[in-house]
Amino acid sequence: MQLGEKAGLKPSKPMRDVFGDAFLELCRQNPKIVVLDGDLCNTTKTLAVRQEFPERFFNIGLAESNMVSIGAGLADCGFIPFITSMSSFLLCNAYDQLRLSIAIAGLNAKVVGSHGGITLGKDGPTAMAIEDLALMGGLPTFTILVPCDPTSMHLAVRAMAEHVGPVYLRSSRVAIPHIYPEDDCPFEIGVANTVRQGSDLTIIGCGIMVAAALDAAAILAEEGIQARVLDMHTLRPMDTQAIAAAARETGAIVTAEEHLLHGGMGSNVARAVGATHPVPMRFIGLADTYTDSGDPYDLLKKYGMTAEDIAQAAREVVAAKGETAGA
């Protein structure tokens, strides 16, 4: 079963290709965009920009630390640098540079990490970014975006260029379905989208796991459980209001992310729930482990991150909600 199939969503392209299309469009519109590449434009999908705008494209080579600080210098000159590479290599090699050269002064620089999560699959754990959201969470001035479908990716890329300040955007390698209409969707930084109405519980997802959440909702609907699904495309600033409303109105929450549970979206949602309206919660994501190499779908299955896993967690929170009410 492909992502979104159970929910009847229309398949689309790999997320990174969608990013590449959106980014080329952005570079055509905004001459202030410059690109810094860590010798991976073929795979991060900025190659088309290199071909069309060679003067605004800098391959810094296999030197991520250097690339990030050069980006800071370009931001100082009034350009909007998009610093791009595979997320794990970029963030783990250049974390100090992200922090010192960009985050502390809050420069207007953009970081795009491709190959987020475990679904890049067969290259295995050395290439996976299972910790990127936690790492970027450690840089307080960064806005963090994890779009879930082609339409929202286009809008996210535009929004991150318009937003003044540092932004991290996660893209991934796996093919994703259309969740929103192809011509438009709501996309405001910091405002979560409700992509399915429901009152029995809320599933909060980001990135590819929004499609998995909708699949889970379809499974649950057959059992008479109506799940609300939130697309938490912005992890910082997080939409605490939408989370509090979900807790209040549906009484139970499951989070789903393609990331370590430690320090990812779910733990931040839990903080918001705990501070506003505590309700039973379950968390879908990668428990403290590195994964095998393998087919993306085999990995999602082995590590408990499928629609069925989300549905099972949903059944548990709904049951727990009953217990709390009865107590």
Applying CB under 8 A, among 21, 25, 39, 76 the residue interacting with other proteins is 76
Q: Which two tokens stand for residue 177?
A: 């379905």
**Quick count: other Cβ atoms within 10 Å of Cβ 304?**
15
9: Cβ contacts below 8 Å, ≥ 6 apart: 3, 177, 178, 179, 211, 214
* Residue 64 designated active-site: yes
Binding segment for other proteins among 104-112, 163-171, 175-183, 256-264 (CB under 8 A)? 104-112
Q: Tell me, residue by residue from 126 to 145, as one string, x for binding to other proteins by CB under 8 A and - for no binding.
A: --------------------
Q: Which burial class, exposed, middle or buried, applies to 23 when counting CB atoms under 10 A from its CB (0-12, 13-18, 19+)?
A: buried
Angle made by CA atoms 182, 269, 201, in degrees to the nearest 5: 70
Sheet containing 110-114: give its strands across.
57-59, 33-37, 80-86, 110-114, 167-170, 143-145, 234-236
Choice between 96 and 184, CB closer to other proteins:
96
Instruction: Determine which one of 52, 64, 162, 316 is catalytic.
Output: 64
With binding defined as CB under 8 A, does residue 60 bind other proteins?
yes
**φ, ψ of residue 168 in degrees (nearest 5):** -110, 135
Q: Nearest distance from residue 101's CB to other proteins, in Å?
A: 5
Find, among 2, 12, 5, 25, the residue nearest to 149 by Cα: 12
Q: Which two tokens stand for residue 28?
A: 């055509």
Applying CB under 8 A, among 15, 41, 75, 86 the residue interacting with other proteins is 75
With binding defined as CB under 8 A, does residue 175 bind other proteins?
no
Q: Nearest distance from residue 72's CB to other proteins, in Å?
A: 5
The CA-to-CA distance between both ends of the chain, in Å, stands at 39
With binding defined as CB under 8 A, does residue 70 bind other proteins?
yes
Find, among 228, 217, 212, 214, the residue nearest to 172 by Cα: 212
Binding segment for other proteins among 20-28, 98-106, 145-153, 271-279 (CB under 8 A)? 98-106
Contact (Cβ atoms closer than 8 angstroms) between residue 151 and residue 9: no
Applying CB under 8 A, among 16, 45, 56, 233 the residue interacting with other proteins is 56
Give CA–CA dist 120/109, Å, rounded: 26
With binding defined as CB under 8 A, does residue 226 bind other proteins?
no
With binding defined as CB under 8 A, does residue 105 bind other proteins?
yes
Q: State whether residue 292 is helix, strand or coil.
A: coil
Binding segment for other proteins among 55-63, 185-193, 293-301, 318-326 (CB under 8 A)? 55-63
Q: Tell me, residue by residue from 6 to 35, as one string, x for binding to other proteins by CB under 8 A and - for no binding.
A: ----------------------------x-
With binding defined as CB under 8 A, does residue 74 bind other proteins?
yes
Choice between 97 and 172, CB closer to other proteins:
97
Q: Nearest distance from residue 158's CB to other proteins, in Å?
A: 22
With binding defined as CB under 8 A, does residue 306 bind other proteins?
no
Find, among 44, 164, 174, 169, the residue nearest to 107 by Cα: 164
Applying CB under 8 A, among 12, 46, 87, 101 the residue interacting with other proteins is 101
Q: Residues with catalytic annotation?
A: 64
Residues that bind other proteins (CB under 8 A): 34, 55-56, 58, 60-61, 63, 65-79, 81, 96-97, 99-101, 104-107
